[in-house]
Structure 1
Amino acid sequence: MIKAETHRNGLCVVSPGVERLTAATAVVFKEEAGRLIDAGHDRLIIDLTDVSFIDSSGIAALVGLLKRVGNRGEIVVCGLASSVAQMFRITRMDRVFPSYPDSAAALVAVEAQA
């Protein structure tokens, strides 16, 4: 389901591969992205460009991944559609996950922090 593009220093750009990150798709996304974390990718850019809707299950999956990474890495998001960005604001996740307009901007910012 997910699409992953590996970069240097454990950095990986991950796309959920679905248009709606909901209870029906969030579990599989979390499991597959979790395998990347377990394989040593502890710095993830979650590219939500193709996601037009996210619900609390999708947000919970992202929080679960953040907990799995823990202090050894980081997770940022990019490409938030207005409805997705609104859900991040409503749930205050915009304060938890740094957000960038696209994966190129996120890559530059995250690599600069390394």
Structure 2
Amino acid sequence: MNMSFESRSMIGILKVDENRIDASVAIAFKDRFRDLVSGSSGDVILDLARVDFIDSSGLGAIVAARKLLGGDRKLELAGLTPAVDKVMTLTRMHTVFPIHADAEAAAAARIDPAQAST
């Protein structure tokens, strides 16, 4: 599972460099997520700009990733493509995860909450 992590002061940005998060990669996604964020502290922004498809297993993997962070850290989503945004809306996950237009908007919202975008 191709993913990268960038630490920025009090947040981390985890970029998914795959076009799908589905049953075939859900376990790899969770494992890679855990490996990348384990040495960091603070909240995490999950950049999904390259992800064009997500199924129920992929959605479950994202929820599991949120749980991996523990109760004191938040997982926010950024860069949802139309198909992924539709899944988040249909499953009402948009009420669980803060969603931003892109990773830069998410990072800017941490500095200036007035810039938050959903």
Fold conserved between structures, TM > 0.5: yes
- Name the structure with the higher helix share: 1
Q: Which residue does the alignment assign to 1:8?
A: 9
Q: Which residue does the alignment assign to 2:71?
A: 71
CA contact (8 A) 1:42 1:69 kept: no
- When the two structures are superposed, what TM-score results if normalisation uses the length of structure 2? 0.87
Paired positions, count = 112
Distance 1:99 1:38 in 2: 23
Q: Which runs of 4+ in 1 moved over 4 A?
A: none
Q: CA shift at 1:24, angstroms?
A: 1.1
Percent identity between matched residues is: 30
- One-letter amino acid of the structure 1 residue matched with residue 36 of structure 2: L
- One-letter amino acid of the structure 2 residue matched with residue 110 of structure 1: R
Say which SS state the counterpart of residue 46 (structure 1) adopts: strand
Distance 1:23 1:66 in 2: 18
CA contact (8 A) 2:4 2:36 kept: no
Deviates more, 1:27-36 or 1:45-54: 27-36
Say which SS state the counterpart of residue 50 (structure 1) adopts: coil
Query: Is 1:60 the counterpart of 2:60 in the alignment?
Result: yes
Q: What's the Cα RMSD here?
A: 1.4
Q: CA shift at 1:40, angstroms?
A: 2.7
Q: Which residue does the alignment assign to 2:98?
A: 98
Question: C-alpha deviations, 1:63-112, integer Å up to 9, x for none?
Answer: 10111112211100011111100100111110111000011100011344
Deviates more, 1:61-70 or 1:95-104: 61-70
- When the two structures are superposed, what TM-score results if normalisation uses the length of structure 1? 0.89
CA contact (8 A) 1:23 1:58 kept: yes
Say which SS state the counterpart of residue 41 (structure 2) adopts: coil
Shift in CA distance, 40/4, structure 1 to aligned 2, threshold 3 Å: closer
Distance 2:105 2:4 in 1: 18
